[in-house]
Structure 1
Amino acid sequence: MYWVPVYLKNTFWAGMSTTQRSESMNAFFDGYVHSRTTLKEFVDQFNNALRKKVENEMAADFHSFNCTVPCISHLPVEKKLQPVYTNSKFKEVESEVMGIIYSHCVVIKTEGAITTYQVNDQRVVEDGIKKSTLQAYFNEDECEAKCMCGLFEMRGIICRHILSIFAARDVQVFPEKYIMERWRKDIKRRYGLIRSSYDDLSGKPAASRYSGLIKLCYQVTTNACENEDNSLDMTQKLKAMNDIYTKSKPQATVASTHASIDAETGSSKKVLSPRVVRGKAPITDGRRIKPHRIGNIARHTRSCCFAVAWYTTKCYFSGELRMPWLSR
């Protein structure tokens, strides 16, 4: 359903939209679940899959903090996002920066502080070069641009069309509104401080403090919400406390944030293969054959349907009960 994104250009999906209904699920459980997985195995492997996902995130964060992707231009967008974004997202930004070469913007009209542009774009596709024309708007007072392609609104990556307008307008300071917090390499994931089945957080002192503070906040919130004045008082005090703690918080470093990619994330469960059970022996002439004798008994061809078997059976064609070694 390639037409669906056309109607979702103004909805943020963080790049999660797929062409298949189960594509993302298959990628998540790849190597852990197959078509013959039992329910018990699925429960155990689900925890292992979650644990592996957390380990992969830690490894990617460690790589982003220690490896820097070089800039390919001198544009402000690259200088601003290089130390902030993760390596994978910064490469997506660089791909759009490269696209500026194939984008050309032309002014259509100007109404006050808002200028309308026509952007002619070229993209390399499987069967050659695809040309397209889009409209984009630039607000000079707010230093804000909006493109009809909807790449930033849908995936959170600023598009080449807006970047070409910024280059034409000589915007030297990249606007903060186009920096997505979720793509930052120093982002704090809340679920990393929550105890789960795959991570007991025994080696994380911050997780224990987080759990205690959450319980205390629940108690204070429950008492404060009963009264409007108490709610406003609590809100003001929490904002003031948050400002103080934010300013006094030490800057994140490689050593303090991710000292090792092998940090403890709980114990994984080893799932054993199902026990192999010997199947029941076949029956011949009303008696079950002992397993050690199966190889010594010659199989016969049925006289009715010419099928090979050891046993007396009801023929599928005639419906009669026959002995396979009887003559025709």
Structure 2
Amino acid sequence: MDLDDEGRLLNVFWADARSRAAYEYFGDVVTFDTTYLTNRYGMPFAPFVGVNHHGQSILLGAGLLSNEDTETFVWLFRMCLDCMNGRAPKAMITDQDRAMKSAFAIVFPKTRHRYCLWHIMRKLPEKLGSHAQFNAGLKIDLQIAIYDSHTNNEFEESWGQVIAKYDLHGNKWLQSLYEERSFWVPAYLKSVFWAGMSTTQRSESMNAFFDGYVHSDTTLKEFVDQFNNALRKKVELETMADFNSNNQTIPCVSHFNIEKQFQRLYTNAKFKEVQRELLGLMCCNCSLVSTEGCILKYQVLDEISTDDHIKTLNFCVYYNEEEVEVKCTCALF
């Protein structure tokens, strides 16, 4: 607890034994969000949320804050770090809050920081909606530059073309986004494990989960009691998923030995993700395009269905025969 000079409560951080144990397993990637107001004092509820081996959102710790300035975030992050035996997350997703970013750099200097991509994209109509061509190409071209660029150079080139095509050189919001591109553009973040997350949606889904237990008139004492009830429900859901994974075998959809290996090792939820990828192989066309020493380069064409058409994606896969190592431009493997 953080108290002021007169002994009044300013900020609180807590994590129970279950959350601390979960952090040992699933604390590599954490999302952090403060958009949820929980009590009559207007103190933002600030959950640290991760994802477990079933793909479920799990609470790793939480705070109630009296302020959202750098000093407060520094205090909260340090309390979290102390609680987790000094082990910082490898990667963390937040919104673009400046005070949060400053505190992050102070407390987690070696943790890879990422901005919530959904929050950024949601601002497009507000910031660029007045442009005459926003719905006549600008919005789509920006999305293509952001989502379809596999390398930093590809993004730089596509972004530059969009800025020139729509005469956006003087747009300060786009300029500020470009200056911080390493914090949010997917191409710049591929080398880091993100547990399948690019947004703080996990935090927001956790907020929605707590809606069934707390509301704006909940007192602090009631909040703690209800918080424990909510956590108990989360534990029940994970225990049920563990039981199902241990006692139910999902049949394989192919004859690939690699699928059988994942069937033995993965939880049912994660194994289903593998099966979706295997089924997606049916749409891939692979061809050898060059050989340099022990490095073989393959081109892989993948067709995916969007709302209104079929889109073809082009990936390069490199196979090192000597090291028996595979690398792909998607960087997901």
TM-score range, shorter chain: 0.3 to 0.5
TM-score (norm 2): 0.42
Of structures 1 and 2, the larger Rg is shown by 1
- Given the two structures, how large is their TM-score scaled by the length of structure 1? 0.43
